[in-house]
Amino acid sequence: MDEDKVFKALGDPTRRRLLDLLCEANGQTLGQLCQHLDMARQSVTQHLGLLEAANLVSTVWRGREKLHFINPVPLHEVYERWVRKFETQRLSLLHDLKRELEGDGK
């Protein structure tokens, strides 16, 4: 995984919006995605190109339509590398606090 490309792709609000749109309804065409954005098709195409370069979006041709699909794998890898390790200790503390408050101090 090229983390720099993933972080660059995620750094733009339009690209995050595109990922949100694909998360809501995966497999959309460029035209469908453009309906939700106030910008030219060419601009949306450029944003999708950066998402594809980061492997966050993949495409499949269905006849004459190019469908865009979210690829959650790079996001999961970012989560595992950069987020999860920071959550583990906090979640353990919350779990211990819950057990203590409920009187289950095993």
Here the tokens at position 97 are: 């606090």
CB 18 within 8 A of CB 51: yes
Predicted pLDDT of residue 106: 52
Q: Name the strand (E) or helix (H) holding 79.
A: none
CATH, range 3-101: 1.10.10.10
Predicted structure pTM score: 0.79
Domain range annotation of the chain = 3-101
Q: Which segments of 16-73 are extended strands (E)?
A: 57-62, 65-70
Q: Which two tokens stand for residue 35?
A: 């309906």
- Which residue, 19, 31, 28, is CA-closest to 70? 19
Share of the chain above pLDDT 90, in %: 70
Question: Over the stretch 30-57, which tens digit does the pLDDT of each residue have?
Answer: 999 999 999 999 999 999 999 999 999 9
> What pLDDT is attached to residue 84?
79
